[in-house]
Amino acid sequence: MRYVTSLLLTMIAISPAWADSPKPTDWPQWNGVHRDAVSQETGLLQEWPEGGPSLAWKATDLGGGDSAPAIANGRIYGMSIQGDNEVVWALNEKDGQKIWGTKLGTAYEQRMPQSKEGPGGTPTIDGDQMYVMGMAGDVTCLNVADGEIIWQRDLQKDFGGVVPMWSFRESPLVDGDKVIVTPGGKEATLAALDKNTGKTLWTTKPPAEEATPPAEREEGERSEGRGRRGPGRGPGGPKPGAAYSSAIMIEDAGQKQYVQFTSKSLIGVNAETGELLWQYDRPANRMGINCTTPVFQDGLIFAASAYGNGGGAVKLNQTDDGQIEAEEVYFTSNMQNHHGGLIVVDGCLYGANGGNGGGFLSCLDFQTGEVLWRDRQAPKGSLAMADGRLYLRSEEGPVLLIEPNKEKFVEKGRFEQPDRTSQPAWAHPVIANGKLYIRDQNTLYCYDIKAN
């Protein structure tokens, strides 16, 4: 086991602003405060003028990457590749000026040439500390004041983790005194680290066997069923390991759990012990390229993947002997979400349906999986939500403002991001304190979306 700790800093009576708890309108981690891609902010533009909202500022020379930024207490944090180095940086929220930058080490050389765009994880801000995961699986805790490294762990060396095909791209989950990460090792699918020291608190062993395979079904057919800890996908497919998703915390079936989408399964583990509680294999595609963060709402947990697969919803039941079973409510091939994320609004599930060949925005009934509408006017992309509006950042560049509607696609404006690079726009949109942030590799654009 390897970890590095720094000396404790002398406590001071009055903490600086950047060490405070994030404001409700900040975006301090992946997918926002609650990891559901929904901002609590109000008073935003409900319709955009022609050409879109005004550009407040842009920051350049950040380095390559599709890491969406985190925003807390007047600062913006992100990750990039600069030359041969993987770096973390902090900017001033007011004008995008650089405050500090820290080298994490030599950048991991991805095996796939089309993927050499840099890190994809978002920093997690927790008071005066922040947590990031590098492309090779180095988990680092830094001081938000100046970027000083406090401790580091290596998921490969310390837990037997295997770097996924496209590199590690997880955003660490901080819950209480724990940092939750996904090594994907033979003895450590998940791991909990002490957030102050990096010491291991517990690990989760991989499932001993696959869940019961479901019967073969026609393409696109919704299904219901129940197996041992949920239906599975049968033999074959990827080896157990980390995928590209980030974990969430839920409380359901009488237990606090961490839910994560690995290369083979959607799983839930006991938050206190790391014990594997349940698994549901069917949303994982046979390539193990599972990127979407799970969604938990109204008693259902949903996950989806692309490459000809789809998504499924389960509800958790506690058995008489205290075990947790994941019961499939439905599975549908009509939500093959690649990596643009999913949002539930008023009982509707919104997300892009499609893989590398493109796709379109779809709206499904979250409780049944029924398709309510889908529209190619809204191309494949990533989603965020604030003040009753969906923000769609399409992979090809256009940014759309959409009114959630159960019956049809309702657009409220769009604009073209200037100076688009030739690479897909994979960084998710971020909304904080009256601003919309759009990252395109080396550049971060900040738009003013406050009404009046």
Give me the pLDDT at residue 374, please.
Answer: 97
User: Is 68's pLDDT higher than 90?
Assistant: yes
Whether residue 81 is contained in a domain is answered as yes
Share of the chain above pLDDT 70, in %: 88
Whether residue 300 is contained in a domain is answered as no
Give me the pLDDT at residue 253, please.
Answer: 86
Whether residue 72 is contained in a domain is answered as yes
Give me the pLDDT at residue 221, please.
Answer: 43
- In angstroms, the CA 312 to CA 304 distance is 6
Q: Which two tokens stand for residue 53?
A: 């909202």
User: Is 238's pLDDT higher than 80?
Assistant: no
Whether residue 138 is contained in a domain is answered as yes
Q: What is the mean pLDDT of residues 360-371?
A: 98
Task: Measure CA 352 to chain center.
Answer: 15
Answer for the pair 301, 313: CB distance below 8 angstroms, yes or no. yes
**Comparing C-alpha atoms, which of 188, 178, 200, 171 is closest to residue 271?**
178
End-to-end alpha carbon distance in the chain: 55
The string of pLDDT tens digits covering residues 415-434 is: 999 999 888 889 999 999 99
Cα distances from 424 to residues 61, 117, 285, 441, in angstroms, run: 18, 10, 22, 9
Give me the pLDDT at residue 396, please.
Answer: 86
Give me the pLDDT at residue 5, please.
Answer: 44
pLDDT band for position 397 (50/70/90)?
A: confident
Q: What is the mean pLDDT of residues 153-170?
A: 96
Whether residue 98 is contained in a domain is answered as yes
The string of pLDDT tens digits covering residues 185-227 is: 999 999 999 999 999 999 999 976 555 444 333 344 444 433 3
- In angstroms, the CA 232 to CA 312 distance is 11
Q: Which two tokens stand for residue 381?
A: 């992309």
Give me the pLDDT at residue 452, please.
Answer: 82
How many domains are there within the chain? 1
Whether residue 141 is contained in a domain is answered as yes
Average pLDDT score, the chain: 90
Residue type, 22: P
User: Is 450's pLDDT higher than 70?
Assistant: yes
Give me the pLDDT at residue 217, please.
Answer: 38
User: Is 38's pLDDT higher than 80?
Assistant: yes
Whether residue 128 is contained in a domain is answered as yes
Domain that holds residue 197: 67-205
User: Is 345's pLDDT higher than 60?
Assistant: yes
Whether residue 33 is contained in a domain is answered as no
User: Is 81's pLDDT higher than 80?
Assistant: yes
Give me the CATH number covering residue 183: 2.40.128.630
The string of pLDDT tens digits covering residues 313-339 is: 999 999 999 899 999 999 999 999 999
